[in-house]
Amino acid sequence: MPFEHWLSLFAICLLGAMSPGPSLAVITGITLRAGAGPGYGAALAHGVGVGCYGLLTIAGLAVLISRLPAALVIIQLLGAAYLAYLGVQALRQAAAPPRVFGQPGDPGHGWLSGFWIAFLNPKLAVFMLALFAQFLRPGAGLLEKGVMVVTVMATDAGWYTLAVTLVSRLARRTDLQARAPLIDRVFGVLLLALATSVALRALPDSW
């Protein structure tokens, strides 16, 4: 792949990752509630989830999803359900006994949340299909395809890693411990609102 084509691919991937959405809300919430460690885990796992969609797109899943709207709706509703679950968990955490804010959380929670919030977003498959259609040349070998998948994965993980770094530094410089229950409530309500929005956008497509 020519360098200028790769640079264009990288720029589009970065702009896609930077667009605000449920992923940023979830990863930011994990960082504020559990600390930088689980936040970095979520960021890296999100990149892995995006990379999986890149591999599946090359394998033809994106074409299948575009031709079977019902499959897209089902995955969207699963994503909405997962966002609602995370929102309820945040609200329950807000009602829990006081804790040291930012204390190390379960790293596995960060990894699982980061991966599933990416993998339960079928629009990534559509995005990958549109993206790869522009840059994947006919007859491209495994190396070129691998470079594209690694690029989308590393760009996504790198952006969210930077976001976690900025959020964790902000948290250390401000007194957030006393505001921990409020932050949990805000993120809980935000995630429930996002879940409702995703579900409402998906349901009309199924009628």
pLDDT tens digits, one per residue of 69-107: 676 677 677 777 877 877 787 777 766 654 444 444 555
* 204 DSSP 8-state letter: G
Q: Which two tokens stand for residue 91?
A: 């609200």
8 Å CB contact between 72 and 129 = no
pTM of the shown model: 0.73
Residue by residue, pLDDT tens for the chain (207 residues) are 778 878 888 888 888 888 777 888 888 888 887 788 889 999 999 999 999 888 887 777 556 666 766 766 776 777 778 778 777 877 777 666 544 444 445 556 688 888 988 888 767 777 777 777 677 666 667 888 888 889 999 999 999 999 999 988 877 766 555 566 777 787 778 878 877 877 787 675 444
* 1 closest CA partner among 151, 136, 138, 150: 136
Q: Rg of the Cα trace of the chain?
A: 18
8 Å CB contact between 10 and 135 = no
CA–CA gap between residue 131 and residue 14 (Å, rounded): 12
